Amino acid sequence: MDNKREDDISINVISAPNDVKPVSQAPVGNAGKAPFCIYAGMRHADGSVIKMEDGSEVVCTENGSWQNTR
């Protein structure tokens, strides 16, 4: 992926250190139109989750920021 503004984006579950697993095979949107967050140089759709080593999670929100789930 070259991370162009028009790239398709997916909802992903990310585990440390950088294991990315898509929730579904089909993209959920386009980075030119849909909200996304950036992690490890990649775009992840709104609703993507990062699972931290301590068991906590952060989720990608509509405003493009990662927020704690608790």
What are the domain boundaries of the chain?
8-65
Per-residue pLDDT, 1: 42
Section 3-9 average pLDDT? 75
Per-residue pLDDT, 62: 95
Distance CA 1, CA 51 (A): 23
The SS3 assignment for 2 reads coil
- pTM, 2 dp: 0.85
Per-residue pLDDT, 6: 75
Note the pLDDT tens digit of each residue in 18-68. 799 999 888 999 999 999 999 988 999 999 999 998 999 999 999 999 999
Per-residue pLDDT, 4: 58
Sign for the CA dihedral angle at 54, 12, 68, 2 comes to positive
